[in-house]
Amino acid sequence: MIRDGFWSMGGYARFVWPCFGAALAVLSWNLWAARRFLAAARRRSVRVMAMAESER
């Protein structure tokens, strides 16, 4: 059961919820950007290996 005044946060909703929203955004961005960076590094490595093999 959600306590009374949960959504209004005792009148501080416009400060509390954006903070948690910003935290969610930062956590999500970190995960997304890190995975994207790893995928790009993998693709680059595959490309380098393919170029090295074609030169042989």
Going by the DSSP 8-state scheme, the letter that residue 3 receives in this structure is: P
| Residue 54: CA count within 13 A, CB half-sphere | 6
Q: Under the rule (CB under 8 A), what is the footprint of another protein?
A: 2-3, 5-6, 9-12, 15-16, 18-20, 22-23, 26-27, 29-31, 33-35, 37-38, 40-42, 44-46, 48-49, 52
Residue type, 6: F
Q: Are 8 and 16 in contact (CB under 8 A)?
A: no
Provide, rounded to whole angstroms, the least separation between the CB of residue 56 and another protein: 13
Give the position of tokens 């946060």.
9
Query: Cβ 14 to another protein, closest distance in Å?
Result: 9
When the beta carbons of 10 and 56 are compared against another protein, the nearer one is 10
